[in-house]
Structure 1
Amino acid sequence: MASGGLLVAGASFAAFQGLHWGLQLMPTPESVRDRWMWRNIFVSLMHSLLSGTGALVGLWLFPQMVTDPIYDHPSWARVLVAVSVGYFVADGVDMLWNQTLAQAWDLLCHHLVVVSCLSTAVVSGHFVGFSMVSLLLELNSICLHLRKLLLLSHKASSLAFRVSSWATLTTLVLFRLLPLGWMSLWLFQQHYQVSLALVILCGTGLVTVGSISISLGVRILIKDVLQPRPYPFILVHKETQQTKTCEPVTRNNSTLSLKGMEVFSSVNPQGGGAGKRRW
């Protein structure tokens, strides 16, 4: 069964990598200057829609995954977790191909933690329910990615952007902070059922994602709600892989994009700097 899960993860990697390549042949909105980031965020949105809604429906239909997150799960839940493993690996490869390590190190660290945790569930067949709860965070990532696509399309002053900002903050509490809180409490109460290595791995992932999520919420609250104002420019990446440099580009009626991570996010919650920004 472990080999089957790895096979699904490999197929998912190939599918998302193919989607990355296929989008290069498709036109992007004319207002978008950073075409690679737009394509990358669009692929991330597809994954969030699949995994987030899949996790929500799955937990609703099979609540035993919450009462017994270690052993009790249907076979399709393991498949969904494996699909997410393939996505995060493909996204990491795409970032390494199009960015410098200095630009992408934080998201790569996030992806490494996520892949390590989810892969443990795929290979062992245990903690699949725990992993499904973690995929609820992707429901917040849907709003994060929509918000980012609107920013890249110069729609920061639109009603759609304001709605996406409030939706991002609302889902951040409901589908990011609450699941992280439940997972942390469960791990603390049931640590005797888990090996020390897994406690350390899961604890590291929860602390990492939780810290990023809180920072994410504060920054979006300040930028979009408390201090909404246009910024004169945004750093835009040149498409040439050999240079991988940034140049300031005039940008009217837009707010400075923040980094958004899909978490376990990020999530990454997916920072400052000139790297990939998802919020």
Structure 2
Amino acid sequence: MASSGLLLTGVSFAAFRGMHWGLRLLPAPGSAAPDRWKWRNICVSLVHSLLMGPGALLGLLIYPQMAADPIHGHPPWALVLVAVSVGYFLADGADMLWNQTLGQAWDLLCHHLVVVSCLSTAILSSHYVGFSVVSLLIELNSSCLHLRKLLLLSHQTPSLAFSVASWATLATLVLFRLIPIGWMSLWLIQQHHQVPPALVVLGGTGLAIVGTMSILMGVRIFVNDVLRSRPHSSIPRHKETRGTGTCDSEPGAKRLERSLRFLFCQSWGGRTRTRR
């Protein structure tokens, strides 16, 4: 079983690396042309998320035993999801090392290292496959996150599509990222006596790192896309008011003042002439 899992991992690595190279032949949108590598990288990540997220959700619906018994309960095809995902993270890490410096990619590389270490345990031991499939529910949120990034690169921020992607990212972050991480953390605490100490440490460290990064990411998206968008949407109206309403009101006031002065002078002058 371990050999077949490693073979699937190798095939997945080659396929995603081929996808990275193949996308070089396709033109990026004009707005994303200055950062073509990031565009290609996120497109490949989106493909992985669209495959793994729905696959994990469908697998858990078809075979809920994977959640009831995350250590032993899994069908053979569930290992394919885990192996393909490990191959992707290895390919994505190689792509980042090839196109970025270590200082630019160290945070995502640490994330990938933790994920590969945890998922590889399921491949090598043929256990904890159900636990790994539950973790792949996170990819449902990652698909929204990658779509949001593509819209950012395309400069589609003030659009309905970007607003929908932002809210979908925040909603799926809670449903398919934070809740699964919380469930896995609680299960690991309750069932620590069934898990070797080394795996408890590895799994706990991985969940802590991914959970912390997820919370920080959610806060950042909420601040940038929700809180800061409100002042930005009101600023143009304020500027418009300052540029049109205020500027138009001052000449209007001056004209009104001149008119009143004229009428007052005419009236006062007429009375003076009458008295004379």
Fold equivalence (TM over 0.5): yes
Runs in 1 of length 4+ with deviation above 3 angstroms?
Answer: none
Q: What SS does the aligned partner of 1:154 have? A: coil
Q: What SS does the aligned partner of 2:187 have? A: helix
Q: How does 1:104-115 map to 2 (within 5 A)?
A: 104-115=105-116
Task: Confirm or deny that 1:136 pairs with 2:137.
Answer: yes
1:30 Cα shift? 1.2
Q: 1:72 to 1:129 in 2, by over 3 A?
A: same
Alignment partners' CA distance in 1, 2:26 and 2:125: 39
Match of 1:215 in 2: 216
1:229 Cα shift? 7.1
Match of 2:27 in 1: 27
Match of 1:13 in 2: 13
Q: How does 1:1-279 map to 2 (within 5 A)?
A: 1-32=1-32, 33-228=34-229
Alignment partners' CA distance in 2, 1:183 and 1:122: 18
Q: CA RMSD in A?
A: 1.1
1:186 Cα shift? 0.2
Question: How many equivalent pairs are there?
Answer: 231
Alignment partners' CA distance in 1, 2:2 and 2:80: 11
Alignment partners' CA distance in 2, 1:230 and 1:215: 22
Q: Which has the larger radius of gyration?
A: 2
Paired amino acid for 1:9: T
- Which runs of 5 or more residues in structure 2 are unaligned? 233-276
Alignment partners' CA distance in 2, 1:34 and 1:230: 28
Match of 1:266 in 2: none
Paired amino acid for 2:6: L
Alignment partners' CA distance in 1, 2:210 and 2:231: 29
Q: What SS does the aligned partner of 1:31 have? A: helix
Q: What SS does the aligned partner of 1:27 have? A: coil
Identity of aligned residues (%): 73
Q: What SS does the aligned partner of 2:130 have? A: helix
Higher normalized helix content (fraction of residues): 2
Alignment partners' CA distance in 2, 1:190 and 1:31: 50
In the superposition, the TM-score normalised over structure 2's length comes to 0.83
Alignment partners' CA distance in 1, 2:151 and 2:228: 18
Alignment partners' CA distance in 2, 1:221 and 1:91: 26
Q: Deviations over 1:46-99 (max 9, x none)?
A: 000011010000000000000000001001100110000000000000000000
In the superposition, the TM-score normalised over structure 1's length comes to 0.82
Paired amino acid for 2:23: L
Match of 2:247 in 1: none
Alignment partners' CA distance in 2, 1:227 and 1:208: 27
Q: Deviations over 1:182-227 (max 9, x none)?
A: 0000000000000000000000000000000110111101100011
- Which runs of 5 or more residues in structure 1 are unaligned? 232-279
